[in-house]
Amino acid sequence: MYKRFNNDDDVVVSSKAFLFDLDGTLLDTLGDLADSMNAVLAARGLPVHPLDQYRYFVGDGMRELARRVLPGKAPAEDIIDQLVEEMRIEYGARCYDTTAPYPGIITMLEVAAATKKPMAVFSNKPHDFTTQMVKKFFPDIPFHMVLGVGGDVPRKPDPAGALRIARETGINPEEFFYLGDTATDMQTAAAAGMFAAGAAWGFRDEDELRKNGAGIVLQSPDEVTEIVKKMLQ
């Protein structure tokens, strides 16, 4: 059903809280992110990039996205600032064009909610976009907390946001099931002392998740649902 590494499903089933990444884990946002940044680049007369290349551009926040799409090395910080602002405008105008939950995600979240265990979202997307998109796509899911980057929340793999969620939910970090789709998520989970679960349906591949500390790698949201159902038994 799923691939095991150093941990087994008993560790997952014994978890007392859920922490989910957003982009590439709950939502397929790749098309809208790519279209938005390509629009920024095209307006500046810069080369645009194919969709699949964005799988490796995104995941570490908007500033890193801007840095990665520019040609050459070490772009000036003022140029990065400009691209981030332009990206915010473009993305704000089209972030709902093609974005949707992955198949099986709604059921997965509903089953997780039925366990009555605290649930949270932690994203490297700016906080305002994160909260807006969770509200739009998951209005009936009772998340205890939703955090994006900004203010006193640094971007992952800094574990500060994950640890804040643990404090505010009153659950020890080691009792969290952290589901994410990138090396950054696996590193964040390790730094926070949480159980790292890799979402192989997302933006990166299974090999990256394994190499960066995934305790388990799941191939679809349905596989997560089956594990979570064991918590209800």
**pLDDT tens per residue across span 120-138:** 999 999 999 999 999 999 9
Q: Of residues 8, 9, 10, 21, which has the active-site annotation?
A: 21
CATH topology of domain 30-94: DNA polymerase; domain 1 (1.10.150)
Residue matched to tokens 């602002």: 85
- Mean pLDDT throughout 102-120? 97
State what percent of residues in the chain have pLDDT above 70.
95
What pLDDT was estimated at residue 11? 66
CATH topology of domain 3-28+99-231: Rossmann fold (3.40.50)
Domain with CATH 3.40.50.1000 in the chain: 3-28+99-231
Active site residue 8: no
- Prediction pTM value: 0.93
Q: What is the mean pLDDT of the chain?
A: 93
